[in-house]
């Protein structure tokens, strides 16, 4: 197997367990096409999102995992939020466009989308059983926070793996997400630091 996951179901029993978990929590997974074109979502989603706090651990927030969230993060914008940095500021002859990841739900960073893209294909193909497997999210910050947020919404157990020297970010992640965090030295030894 290469870096890409094949779309075939590899374990029917594990897939069934994942789908049962999603059904229990009332989660409807948006497709990647729906996230790329958020206005194509089913009609009732917009009304549910209007009532859902963008920072809540709600499966409705899965429908906000796209670049088109408006400034208040409750509705869709016609174009993604961005800043244009002029050549006079950057020293680059072309304008530089910076997308605003802070408009994403739950953690205020675009890494929730990356985490969704990693975990959901494994759930729907039977490669991950939420009752028996644990998602491991290694990162220096936002990716593990996004992974833990997505795992929590999808009813999956998870662990954040952070470098030991990360300091304040580690403390903030531990406090804000109430998650298990394993710290490693920067050389990533074979066993956790105790």
pLDDT value of residue 56: 94
What end-to-end distance do the CA atoms of the chain give, in Å? Answer: 35
Residue 193 inside a domain? The answer is: no
**Domain enclosing residue 28, as ranges:** 12-184
Please state, for a pLDDT cut of 70, what percent of the chain lies above it: 82
Query: Residue 167 maps to which CATH number?
Result: 3.40.50.1100
Span 137-145, average pLDDT: 86
Backbone angles phi, psi at 76, to 5 degrees: -95, 140
Q: Mention every residue, 6+ apart, whose C-beta is less than 8 A from residue 36.
A: 66
Q: What is the pLDDT of residue 188?
A: 46
Could you tell me if residue 147 is inside a domain? yes
Q: H-type helices in the chain, by residue range? A: 12-25, 32-36, 43-50, 87-90, 111-124, 142-153, 168-177
68 within a domain of the structure (yes/no): yes
Using CA atoms in the order 120, 2, 104, 123, what is the torsion angle rounded to 10 degrees? 10
Q: For residue 168, tell me if it sits in a domain.
A: yes
pTM for the whole structure: 0.84
Asked whether residue 191 is assigned to any structural domain, the reply reads no
Q: Strand 157-163: give its sheet, edge to edge.
A: 134-138, 157-163, 181-184
Q: Are 10 and 124 in contact (CB under 8 A)?
A: no
Q: Is residue 145 part of a domain?
A: yes
Q: Find the mean pLDDT for residues 76-97.
A: 96
What local confidence, expressed as pLDDT, does residue 171 receive? Answer: 56
Q: Within a domain: residue 27? A: yes
101: pLDDT strictly greater than 90: yes
Domain tally for the chain? 1
Question: What pLDDT does residue 140 have?
Answer: 79
Whole-number pLDDT of residue 194:
41
* Residue that the structure tokens 């059983």 belong to: 129
Given this model, what pLDDT does residue 191 score?
Answer: 47
Does 35 have pLDDT greater than 60? yes
CA dihedral for 17, 27, 149, 37, sign (positive or negative) = positive
Which residues pair with residue 184 across a beta bridge?
Answer: 163
Query: What's residue 152's pLDDT?
Result: 92
Is 130 within the bounds of a domain?
yes
Closest to 45 in 3D by CA, of 32, 67, 64: 64
- CA dist 187 → 140, 142, 162, 180, 190 (Å): 13, 20, 12, 21, 9
Q: For residues 152 and 159, is the Cβ–Cβ distance under 8 A?
A: no
Average pLDDT over residues 7-33: 94
- Whether the pLDDT of residue 189 is over 60: the answer is no
Q: Is the pLDDT of residue 160 over 80?
A: yes
pLDDT band at 172 (very low <50, low <70, confident <90, very high): low
Among the ranges given (44-48, 106-110, 184-188), the one the predictor scored with the smallest mean pLDDT: 184-188
Per-residue pLDDT band at 193 (split at 50, 70, 90): very low
> What does pLDDT average to over the chain?
86
What confidence tier does 161 reach under pLDDT thresholds 50, 70, 90? confident
């Amino acid at each position: 197997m290469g870096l890409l996951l094949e779309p075939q179901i590899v374990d029917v029993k594990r897939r069934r367990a994942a789908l049962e978990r999603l059904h229990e929590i009332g989660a409807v997974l948006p497709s990647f096409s729906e996230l790329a074109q958020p206005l194509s979502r089913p009609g009732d989603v917009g009304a549910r999102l209007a009532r859902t706090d963008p920072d809540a651990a709600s499966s409705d927030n899965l429908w906000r995992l796209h670049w088109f969230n408006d400034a208040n993060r409750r509705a869709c914008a016609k174009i993604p939020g961005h800043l244009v940095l002029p050549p006079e500021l950057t020293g680059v002859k072309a304008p530089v466009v910076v997308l605003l990841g802070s408009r994403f739900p739950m953690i205020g960073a675009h890494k929730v989308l990356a985490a969704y893209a990693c975990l959901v294909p494994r759930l729907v193909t039977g490669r991950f059983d939420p009752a028996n497997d644990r998602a491991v999210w290694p990162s220096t910050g936002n990716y593990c926070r996004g992974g833990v947020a997505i795992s929590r919404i999808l009813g999956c157990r998870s662990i954040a793996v952070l470098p030991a020297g990360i300091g304040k970010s580690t403390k903030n992640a531990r406090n804000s997400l109430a998650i298990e965090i394993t710290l490693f030295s920067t050389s990533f030894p074979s066993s956790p630091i105790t």
